[in-house]
Every structure is written in C-alpha cells, then in structure tokens.
Amino acid sequence: MKLALTETRLRLGSRSPWSRLGRVVADQHCFVPTPVLLEGSLVRIFLARVGSDGIGRLGYVDVDAADPTHLLRSSSHQLMELGAPGAFDDNGITPISVLSLGNGRLRMYYTGWQLSDKVRYFLFTGLAESDDGGETFRRVSEVPVLDRCDGEMTVRTATFVQLEDGLYKAWYIAGSRTIMLHGKQVPTYSLHYAESADGVSWPRGREIMRPVEPYEFGFGRPVIRRTGAGYEMWYSIRRTDVSYLIGYATSTDGVAWARHDEYGMNTAEPGAWDDEMVAFPGVIDTPHGTLMFYNGNGFGRTGFGVARLAG
C-alpha cells in the first residue's frame, strides 16, 4: 500500500501548468484566499484572518494582477461580525465564493463554523452581500442558505457559486460521517451539485464526485472555470498520506467530471513554505493571465501564495 500511495502522490501535479510566483502574505494566518476582480487589474482577495483564539474573521487584501505578490492594501477592520452565540457562524467565518453583481455590489457565500461536543464542528453555508465593494457585508439570512439535510448532516459548505443564464449553480462539499485520523476525529465528505433560481433557496443537491478510498477522505473548496468546451475545476484533496494536494478535473456539463490530477499542484520542494500541503485554490482570470491564490503549510498559518497559469 505504501508504494501505491507514493506513486499516486508523484503522479498528482506531475504535469502542472502552474508557475509559483511566491507568497502574497507571509506573516499572518490567512485562511482560504477568495479573489474577485474589482476594476481593471485590481484583485481583492477575501480571507479569514485567524487569531490566537483560533477563530477566523473576515478581511481582505488588494493586489494588482500585473504584480500579484506585491501587497497594495490590507483591510484594518472586520468586514462582518461573527454570528450571535448559538448561530451557525458563531465560531468563525470563511469566505468561499464571491460574485460581482455590478455597481460595487458583491454577493459572498461563506462557511460558518460552529463547535460541537459530539463532533469537532459543524460547517454550513451562509450568504452575505456588500454594496461598497466589499468594505462591509450584511447577512442575507441569519441561518444557513445551505443547511443540513439527509445525507448532508454535519458538512454542507465550501460552496462555489456561478450565475449562468439567470440560474445559480453551486458546487459544494457535503457529508455526515467522520473518521479517526492521527488521533483526531475528522469529517469525510464528497462533492455535490445543486441549482437555484435566486441563489438564496437551495434544494438538496446530488453527489457528483466521491473520494477514492482508502487514501482520500474528502475534498476542499472547489473552484470552477467555464470554458468553450465546458468546465474545469480545481479542488483540494484531503489524503491520509499528506494533508492536502490540489487536483484538477474537467466536465462538459458541470455534473459528470473526469479527473486529471496530474495537471493539479503538488507540494513544493523541501524547505518551502508550501512543502507539506497546498490547498484551497482561488482561481481568477485577469488582464494579466489566470492566477491561483492558495494556502500552503498549516492551513494558512504560513500565509498564502499565488501561481500563474501557463499560456
């Protein structure tokens, strides 16, 4: 089994078209960088700033796509308060997907964190909007817009949303089971898909991609890019032999996916800030090419970096 795991890890990312450019932020614990193109080549990257209490609070940094490792601005305030005690987002807010609706209006889907005695945490999807380009956000709902349902009881989140021809499409992770890994109870989940007329009310989704056991046990935040041939997706792969790696898949309809993980991203050479894990890719097209913002070691404890797509 060790040989099989090693061979699989070496294949993943072996033909990666991504060139690492370096870190954008190195001195803060920044979790799940989520980019949106505001105007020209200005990219605003929303993220969860994790404090000494382990709680992620919503902030952002700005970069120019022409030189994305150079930080232009960093928010100095919390963009949205944590949920009230007992709310689904009372122990953390993690941005996942941001849609630009024009005239400075943004719609953000985010993960709300809530701790539990019987499982480590619950993760469900919240929705908030901004009228000032992301300086502040207000909740559309105090409860999750993707809440628990049959088969998706503890995790229903990491929701990437696109608006296509008036229809909201969501790719997200969901599950109800946990496993023991390195002495900790961790959730296991698969990739699901759902559609909504308004982006607020969502039906129960359907499973579209399942981890390959025994060495995979979950997927992290997917990001979808529409192409002339259909769709491509980058996503985090949770594994038992390494924390996270970034996979890649293609689809003609956004539902049936073919994995081509050799075009994803593997960990860097030993000694690098991302030599143990790479995860939570946020991919965006800009006037200066397609960029991927991602986390490295320690789930964002080493900040986050950026890579550029070749071609």
> Of the segments 11-15, 116-120, 243-247, 283-287, which one has the largest average pLDDT value?
283-287
SS3 of 251-303: ECCCCCCEECHHHCECCCCCCCCCCCCCEEEEEEEECCEEEEEEECHHHHCCC
The reported pTM is: 0.94
**CA distances (Å), 207 to each of 8, 211, 224, 281, 311, in order?**
24, 11, 16, 21, 33
CA gap 210, 186 in Å, rounded: 17
CB 193 within 8 A of CB 174: no
Residue 96 exposure: Cα atoms within 13 Å on the Cβ side: 31
Percent of the chain clearing pLDDT 70 (strictly above): 96
What does pLDDT average to over the chain? Answer: 92
Residue 44: what pLDDT? 98
| CATH number of the domain encompassing residue 281 | 2.115.10.20
- Arithmetic mean of pLDDT, 255-270: 95
Confidence of residue 227 (pLDDT cuts 50, 70, 90): very high
Residue type at 248 in one-letter notation: Y
Q: How many CB atoms lie within 10 A of CB 52?
A: 6
Among residues 311, 226, 239, 303, the alpha carbon closest in space to that of 49 is found at 303
CA gap 230, 33 in Å, rounded: 25
- Number of structural domains (the chain) is 1
Question: Tokens 């320690």 belong to which residue?
Answer: 298
pLDDT tens column, 165-194: 999 999 999 998 877 777 777 778 899 999
Q: Could you list the residue range(s) of the whole structural domain that residue 161 is in?
A: 2-309
pLDDT tens column, 1-19: 233 434 444 468 889 999 9
Residue 213: what pLDDT? 75
Residue type at 144 in one-letter notation: P
Residue 8: what pLDDT? 47
Question: Tokens 């986390």 belong to which residue?
Answer: 295
- Arithmetic mean of pLDDT, 222-235: 96
Residue 140: what pLDDT? 97
pLDDT tens column, 25-63: 999 999 999 999 998 999 999 999 999 999 999 999 999
Residue 52 exposure: Cα atoms within 13 Å on the Cβ side: 0
